[in-house]
Structure formats: structure tokens, C-alpha cells
Structure 1
């Protein structure tokens, strides 16, 4: 089977969905790969950004690493709420594009930016109200509370820019343009590394090709890592929004011939799609915070190992998220075009591909776990503990992929309530209960064993749910 990585080929295959033409299995697979590869590369490079961040901070010692690891789940919580709002609008855009109604797609997009920015500033206000007490609530020691607070508050300033970046990228992706958002994501990672290099470390003398030279630096440590991330988001969010709003061949607002009219129905539809996702993200990330609270009493070594292992594991499951973005786009356009046959076919093909890819990544993670953790921290105790928990998690990767991609299939179809309940029930009733029971006796290894069991069961539940749903369509 020949895969042609060509923009015009992608557009012609997406047009077949909207026009009702029959697609061969090879054409479907070709389209899945074409949409997945750029997204996978973007997801992996995004994780590399956090990976390099963690490695730079990790070189400063266990305490700075623990400071970031303590509040990191809270930053994910607010970022995930931004994602929920964005998906509420982008799914509608995918459906309208699938139905060849580009004018309504652009109208929904406008509503998304306005409503999303208002929501992001509300989140920003909340972060500043809780930021000074958050490290204390999470059980962090006095030695890391100050750094944790500084990191969280500065990182929170990213929220409005993340909304602009994520909304612009999501709109372009559901229109079939995966390449540009992916390229900008890679650029953001490169910029983040450059900014962090100068912000984290102090002015120092380095050797380049045998020559000594002075490298300027802010020496801000944990605070510098947050500043670097903030600037990288700003540098990417604004150009991406410009392209989506002014240059996109489908979404550019200049293509509208009628005056823009605010319609609350689009916001209501977005809330119906996004609210279950927001509640899920709120409770899922809340569960991550509870998990952090379970880990925190185990000490700074366990906190840092937990954070580094999560960052390292992300390199393995990001391909699943890349494929899931392709699934959302393809299923969304298929549903909008009323192509139930394609909906079912794309669902199972993307899930199968995700499981195969992440099973391979699980093998890689098991073999190279020592090297993955070793790049993040020079502390021997962290390396040993981080390696052991990564190898526990490696066995859960295939079913984790099933959960990731199946959930995105449901999102593309506009079905978010029941899948969100599956995620919540699995996390709160299985993972946290088992983690709490095992942590006292087995420490961090017990917490990660609970995680592996829960992810495997969640993947099985999603496969069963989707099987029953697709059988009825």
C-alpha cells in the first residue's frame, strides 16, 4: 500500500467524505496516516518541550524538580478546561464542514474565540486567587512551596494565549489542515528550549569547539522555566490565530458575505458538548491532584520521580493522542456528511492503529526506561524509582491507546456525556482507591501499579461501549 504525503491528496480525500463518494480501504488508511503523522510529531515535540524543561530544572537538584512536579497537575487542570471549551466549538465546525456549510463553520469559529477568551480570563482570575495557598493544600514541604507558587502563577499567565493557540489549531485541524498547527507546535518547543536555556541558568562560561565563551543567563531556576514557556506560547499563538482568521481557505472570515450575527444556539451547543468534557477534565485532573497528595507524603524523591516518570511516559502515549486528533476530524466530518459507514470504519481503523503504535511504544519504554529517566535527573535514587514505575506502566499502553482514541471518536460524533462518565468512574473508583490502598505498603510503585490496572480496564470499557454504540448506528 502506497502512502502519498501530499496536501492536495489530503484535501481530495477529505472532499470525498463531503461529496458522498465511495472510499476504498487504502484511501481511508492513507487519509488517517496523512492526518495522524503531523499531529503525532506535534504531540511528541510538545512532550519533548516538557521533557527538556524537566531535564533542565532536574539538573538543579531534587527540590526544584519537586516544586514543579507538585503543581504541574494543577496547570494541566486549567489547560484541560481550555481544551473542553475549544472542543465544544471545533466539533460543531467539523460537522458543518462535513455538511459543506462553510459559512456556519466560520460563524461557530467566531463564537468560539469570543466565548473562549472570556472563559480563559475567568480561569486566570481563579489561578491568582488560589495560587499562594495551592502548594500548601497539596502537601508540599516548606522547602519547595515558594518555587512551586512562583511557577504556578507565572505559568497561569499562559492560559489566554493557550486558548488562542488551541482554538486556532483545533479549527485548522478539523478543516483538514494538520500540517500548519503541527509545525507551529514544533516551533513552540524549539523556542521554549531556547528561552529556558537563558532564563533557568545563570551567566556562565561554556566551551564551544575548544573556545571559552560567556553565556548570559537570568539564573531564575524554576521561575525561568515558567517564563520560557510563557514567551514560547505568545510567539506561536498570535501567528497561528492570524492564519486561521485571515488566511485559511475554508475558515478565513473575509470569505463571509453576510454580517456576523451572535447566535446563542452555537454557545449552547458548545456547552452541551464541552460541559461533560469540562466536568470530566475537572474531576480527572482533580483526581491527579489527589494522586499527588497521595504521593507527596512519600517525600521529595517520590514526588520528583512521579513527575519525571509522567513526563517520560508522555513520549510514549503522545502518538495515541496524535491519532486521536485524526479520529476526531474524520469522524466529525463523516457525521456532518451523514456517512455512517465511514464513521464506523474510521472509528475501528484509528483505534486499531493507536493500539498497535502504542504497544510498540510500550516496548520501547520498558527497554529504555533507565535512559529516559536518566536524561531528566542526575539523582540516582530518582533514576532507580522512576525506571521501576515506568516499566510497570509499559504493560498498559495498548489499552490506554484504546481509551484515548475511542474517546476522541465519541467526541467527533458529539457524544461526550457517557464517555466522560467512563473516564471519571475508572479514575475515581479504580485508580485512586487502589493507589491509596497500595501506597502505604508499596510506595510510588504501588501508585503506578494502580495506574496501570486502571488504564487497562478503562481501555476495555471503551472498546465495549463503542462496539455497542456503533452496532446501533
Structure 2
């Protein structure tokens, strides 16, 4: 009787599971990925970025919760000036896009040397740009809180917070560039890790800087003295600035020293290329205008909300922070879409670029719609974690439920804009976002807020995002951006 040899154990499915680097290599090589592998690539690149975005939002959530337990005035101090910090943060992000998109396209065409040259030029330009922004921000810190209509007891905290934020813009710019440039090479894991480290550092620094010295009881077994600088609102800004500095240091070390793809090679000298810098300007300018116009509208909206009182300012700021948990996954998927579409363009794969845009939008809308449903259900609990004030909880929870209605179209706007940016199509998307905010949100806020309070502002925002999302979906479907890919910008040597 013949004895059959035992069958070998099957290979673990995890070992045969394709990694994002393998799929990107196939894309760069000109291979057409199947639908399954295309979806897999979008998911693999999105998950680490979503984790990074969520950890950053948790950091903001912790900041808001810590300050929220100081006083309503302290919360209003940050809420009053938040749109201004978003404005300058957006300008830093816009400059990052100009160089990161070019890097993604160069990696797509497998020209790593050119990608490293773009990286070094971008870091130098970012250093100079953030220095100019820092000077402007610190100067504005002493006049904007008054112009925005903040109460006298709110202005001092706003000035301190904005001045410290301005000084930290160098670290913020380097963190932004480091995250996007590393992602453009296909590495999505490091940004996730750095964001988690920054989140931990932010909690640690805030606990030292915001509150006075205190003693904690651990399980009733022993007591532990914890030092504190008792800086209040200024401590929250300084703690975040120090966390950003830690992130910037890690990114610079990784890119310039450690990364086998990005670090400096012998014989590769820094030479500024007029074509690269001008291409960065062409890509960044529409994004910068979009951010400037959009966040200027946010500043004006704050001016509209200010007459409603300190409690309304604080409730609106908490609602914005809570909503960010829903929309930051969209930005994470959008970052992945910028990388994938940019590399598809570099590889001259128009069909794959089209597919990845739609897959990214679908994933973003599904994710944010689900998050919006959960936000609608748990809105009161989300606000209660940020403030113990029952009035703020009621106002913020109602506003948050109105905002939840916008999440599907908000997702379409976020992801489509980022995906089109990877293709170099930035002007139309900038017009859509900035145009709808000024043409719809601001006028409707002026009309609604006197009668509906902050709910009027949130209803105006919902209407604006519905229109904006529809415009983005129309733009993607028209494929005007796709017809321009025969001669993509930024690929000339």
C-alpha cells in the first residue's frame, strides 16, 4: 500500500498579501492594476494617513478639553483666534503642495535623483517662507483680537496664543513638508508614527505648561506631585509648538540622514532650478489663494459670531473641534489620493489616474458619511468631553448635528480637491472652494445668525458644502483635468 506524503501547509495569506510599495512599483512600471488591487492600494495608503490625521485631531481634542476645563473665557480666547491660525497653517500647506506634488510625479517616473533635488529646494524655500509668515503673525497678534470683536478678558489670551503660534511656524512648515514629502515617496507609515509621537508629546507638554503644580492620587495607594507652569492659554500654544518641533526634528533627520530614498548622495549638490521653483509656485498659488480666501472667510465668520457672546464663540470652537474627527479621515484619504494620482501621472497612466480619483472619492464619502451618522447620534457626548458648561454643551451639540448633514458632500470636496491636486489641476478646485464660501456661506451667515445664533452659521456651511461637493463631482466627471495629462507640468527635466 502506497502511503501518500502529507500535503504542505498552505502559505499564510498575510505573506502573499501585496504591500503598498509593491503595488506602487507596479504602477510606476506601467502595469495596469486590477480593480481589486487598485482598491487595495487606495486603502493601504489611506489607513496610515487616516491614523495620522486622527492622532493629530486627538491632540487638538485634548488641547481643547484641557483649556475647556479652565474657563469659558480661556476657550473663547482660542476659539476667537483659531481661524487665523488655520489661515497661516493653510499657507504653509499650500507651499508644501507645490513641491510634494512634483516629488510624487518624479517618483512615478522613477527619477529619484530629481525627487531628492526637489525635496532639498523645498526645505530651503519653506524655511524662508515660514520666517516671513512668523513675522507677520506675531505683528498681527496684537491687533486682530480687538478687530475680531473679542471681549477685553478674551483678548489677552488670544494675543499670547497667536504670538507663540507665529514663532512656531518654522516647525509647523517643516512638519508639513516632511509629512507630505515622505508620503510622496510612498511611505505612509512614518507620518502615522510621527503623529502619534507628537500627540503624546503634546499631552505631556500641555500638562506641564497649562495647569499649576498639583498632586495626583494613584488608585488611592500613593500620591504623585506633578509640576506645572500655570500658563493657561499660552501654555496650550507653547505645548503644541514644542510637539511640532519634535515632529519637525524627526522628519528632517529621516529625510536628510536615514531614508535610503531621500537622503543626500555623494556628488548631488544643491542647485536651485528655476523650472522647479516656478512649477511649485504655479501649483501652490491656487492652493494658497484657496486657503487664504477660505480662511479669511472663516475670520469674517468669527466676526459675525462674536456679537453673540463669549459662550457662543466657545461653543462654536468646540463644535468645530469635534467635527474635525469626522472630516480628518477625508483629508487622510485625500493625501493618499494626491500621492497615487501624482504617481499615476508620472507613470503616464491616464486610465489608472481616472480610476484612483473615483475610488478615493468613493472611499472618502463612505467613511465620512458613516462618521457623520455617528456624530449626529453622539453630538452631546462629544461636546461634553470638551466643556463641563451645560449651555455650551447644548449649543455645541445642536450645531454639530446640523453640520453632520454636510459630511457626504464635504468628503467629495476634500478628496476630489486633493486627487486633482495630484494631477496638477489646482485652479478650478480653488475657485470652487473659495468661491462657494464667499458667495454662499458668508452671506447666508449674515442673514441666519441674528435669528438662529451659531446654528445659522452651521446651516449656511451645510448649504455651501452641498454646492461645493456637487461642483467637484462635476469637475471630475468632465475629465477636463485628465485631458491635460498628455503634457503634465513638473515633469520636464
Mark yes or no: TM-score above 0.5: yes
Counterpart selection for 2:154 from 144, 153, 177: 144
Match of 1:235 among 241, 246, 252: 246
Instruction: Provide the residue aligned with 1:220 in structure 2.
Output: 231
| RMSD after superposition | 1.6
Match of 1:134 among 122, 125, 144: 144
**In structure 2, C-alpha distance between the alignment counterparts of 1:259 and 1:219, rounded to whole Å:** 48
Summarize the alignment of residues 351-362 of structure 1 with structure 2, pairs less than 5 Å apart: 351-362=361-372
Report matched runs for 1:172-251 at 5 Å. Answer: 172-210=182-220, 211-251=222-262
Q: 1:71 aligns with which of 81, 87, 98?
A: 81
Paired with 1:258 and 1:172, the residues of 2 have a C-alpha distance of: 19
Tell me if the contact between 2:182 and 2:255 (Cα under 8 Å) persists in the aligned partners. yes
Is 2:106 aligned against 1:96?
yes
Count of residues paired in the alignment: 471
User: Hey, what does 1:122 align to over in structure 2?
Assistant: 132
How far apart, in 2, do the equivalents of 1:314 and 1:260 lie?
A: 39
1:201 partner SS: coil
Following superposition, the deviation at residue 212 of structure 1 comes to 2.9
- Say whether the 8 Å CA contact 2:368–2:411 is kept in structure 1: yes
Counterpart contact for 1:151–1:222, Cα < 8 Å: yes
From 280, 284, 288, give the equivalent of 1:270. 280
Are the structure 2 counterparts of residues 121 and 3 from structure 1 closer, same or farther at C-alpha, using a change threshold of 3 Å? farther
For residues 14 and 427 of structure 2, the distance between their equivalents in structure 1, rounded to whole angstroms, comes to 37
Which one of 249, 257, 271 corresponds to residue 261 of structure 1? Answer: 271
Q: TM-score, normalised by structure 1?
A: 0.97
| Structure 2 partner of 1:27 | 37
Correspondent of 2:424 among 411, 414, 418: 414
Question: Which of 343, 348, 351 is equivalent to 1:338?
Answer: 348
Contact 2:420–2:481 under 8 Å retained in 1 = no
1:444 offset after TM fit, Å?
0.7
Measure how far apart 1:303 and its partner are. 0.1
| TM-score of the superposed pair, with normalisation by structure 2 | 0.93
Larger Rg: 2
> CA offset at residue 470 of structure 1?
5.6
Structure 1, residues 87-145: CA drift from partner, whole Å, max 9, x if none? 10010111111111111111111110111110100000101221111100111011111
1:382-439 Cα shifts (integer Å, max 9, x gaps): 0000000000011110110000000001100011111101111110000111111101
Partner of 1:45: 55
How far is 1:257 from its partner?
3.7
Say which is worse superposed, 69-78 or 461-470, in terms of deviation.
461-470
- Contact 1:139–1:293 (CA under 8 A) maintained in structure 2: yes
Aligned 1:301-316 pairs, distance under 5 A: 301-316=311-326
**Relative to 1, partners in 2 of residues 1:76 and 1:414: Cα closer, same or farther, differing over 3 Å?**
same
Q: Which structure 2 residue ranges, 5 or more long, are not aligned? A: 1-11, 484-493
Residues 149, 303 of structure 2: 8 Å contact kept: yes
Shift of 1:47: 0.7
| Pair 242,471 (structure 1): closer, same or farther in 2 beyond 3 Å | closer
CA distance in 2 between counterparts of 1:244 and 1:250 reads 8
Deviates more, 1:17-26 or 1:212-221: 212-221
One of 254, 258, 263 as aligned partner of 1:252:
263
User: What corresponds to 2:21 in structure 1?
Assistant: 11
How big is the shift at 1:10? 1.3
Please tell me whether the aligned partners of residues 86 and 166 of structure 1 are also in contact (alpha carbons under 8 angstroms): yes
For residue 251 of structure 1, report the CA deviation from its aligned partner: 1.5
Q: Do the aligned partners of residues 291 and 402 (structure 1) sit closer, same or farther apart at CA in structure 2, a change above 3 Å counting?
A: same
> Counterpart of 1:217 in 2: which secondary structure?
coil
Distance 1:5 1:14 in 2: 18
Matched, 1:392 2:422: no
Deviating above 6 A after TM superposition, structure 1's stretches of 4 or more consecutive aligned residues are 5-8
The answer to whether the 8 Å contact 1:344/1:470 transfers is no
On the 8 A contact 1:5/1:34 being kept in 2, the answer is no
Task: Point out where structure 1 has 5 or more consecutive residues left out of the alignment.
Answer: none
